[in-house]
Amino acid sequence: MLLDGASLWFRSFYALPEKMTSPDGRPVNAVRGFLDTIAALVTAHQPTRLVVCLDLDWRPAFRTDLIPSYKAHRVAEGGDGLAEEVPDTLTPQVDMILDVLRCAGLETGGAAGCEADDVIGTLAFGEAVDDVLVVSGDRDLLQVVADDPVAVRVLYVGRGLAKAELMGPEELAGKYALPVARAGAAYAEMAILRGDPSDGLPGVKGIGDKTAAKLITQFGSLDALESAARQGDMPISPRIAGALDDAADYLGAARTVVAVRTDAPVAFGRGDDLLPAAPEDAAGLDALVAELGIDASVGRLSAALGWA
């Protein structure tokens, strides 16, 4: 199980009220929600291995150098372009979450100069033994679904855990009318064409979801579509051919920006992603429970992990 850490704790923060506080008055809504989310996922899906994947660089230079608008609207006001705009009461909770994960013995993974998406892409692509379940509210990660050499599925929680969608190649192809044989890659190419305002990606003018999916399915790939457009093949309307030509530079850059890396230099916190049979630091975990007032959430996590 590969968890998109920031995606899940942001959702926990906004899903629960800030009046959930520690004994000394600090908000712990994201901490409690995130731990409860892990407990629910472990209970429901029974993984044997788990990694919470981290954003060590949320706007990597290898992406912003190609498309400067990438996530630019999320930069903190008055910042240096490196800091993400994060609610003041969430930032300290991230450290709390990482402390709890460390004491519990749950693995974390990050890669210098990379986003959590790249960590997930690398670990999913490199897995050859166990099936993989990715959990995220970021639809960009739908591109990692696969059947070979192991099943890679995405539990998309964009509408919350209660309305989560389990997506594999068949489900992804069916939802977006994409070719099932290369559903993950086709989804990424569709995303390039349509763009994504939430990530600062302009897309190709006049091409939305349905048209993008239709073009990728009709021609088989983005490369084949662009080639056909350059050659003036009849199935492509002059309007779309012109739009593709106008966006040639963007399309070239977006391939790197949109695709998750499969070769990120992932470094782990513990070096062991097996679910722990007992807390790594029981005394430290007890101290955090007392300090933060998170006994109920840690209790649910303990039960899910079989400690209780």
Domain boundaries, the chain: 2-168+261-305
Measured distance CA(103)–CA(280) in Å, rounded? 5
**51-53 β-sheet, strand order:** 165-167, 152-156, 132-136, 2-4, 51-53, 107-111, 266-268
pLDDT value of position 217: 94
> For residue 235, what are its two tokens?
């199935």
Provide the 8-state DSSP code for 58. Answer: S
pLDDT one-digit tens code per residue, 37-89: 999 999 999 999 999 999 999 999 999 999 999 999 888 765 555 667 788 99
In this prediction, residue 298 has a pLDDT band, given cuts at 50, 70 and 90, of very high
pLDDT given for residue 83 in this prediction: 66
66-80, 141-155, 161-175, 278-292: least confident range: 66-80
The stretch 114-126 carries a mean pLDDT of 98
pLDDT of 255 > 70? The answer is yes
Positive or negative torsion for Cα 64, 65, 67, 69: positive
pLDDT at 232: 78
Segment 102-107 mean pLDDT: 98
Which residue bears the tokens 């509210």? Answer: 137
Look up residue 123 and give its DSSP letter.
H
CATH number of 2-168+261-305: 3.40.50.1010
Radius of gyration of the chain (CA): 21
The stretch 284-295 carries a mean pLDDT of: 98
* Cα dihedral 32/35/41/44 (nearest 10): -80
pTM of this prediction? 0.94
Give pLDDT, residue 73: 85
Q: How many CB atoms lie within 10 A of CB 163?
A: 9
Tell me what pLDDT residue 80 has: 56
Side chain identity, residue 219: F
d(CA 237, CA 83): 43
* Residue 52 near residue 109 (C-beta atoms within 8 A): yes
Map residue 24 onto helix, strand or coil. coil
Q: What pLDDT digit, counting tens, does each position of 167-208 carry? A: 999 999 999 999 999 999 999 999 999 999 989 999 999 999
Tokens representing 27 are: 């908000």
Q: Comparing C-alpha atoms, which of 156, 117, 133 is closest to residue 260?
A: 117
pLDDT digits (tens, 9 = 90+) for 12-31: 999 999 999 999 999 999 99
Which residues, in sequence order, are CB contacts of 254 under 8 Å at separation 6+?
66, 67, 192, 201
Taking the C-alpha atoms of residue 286 and residue 295, their distance in angstroms, rounded to an integer, is 9
Average pLDDT estimate for 101-113: 98
pLDDT of residue 59: 92
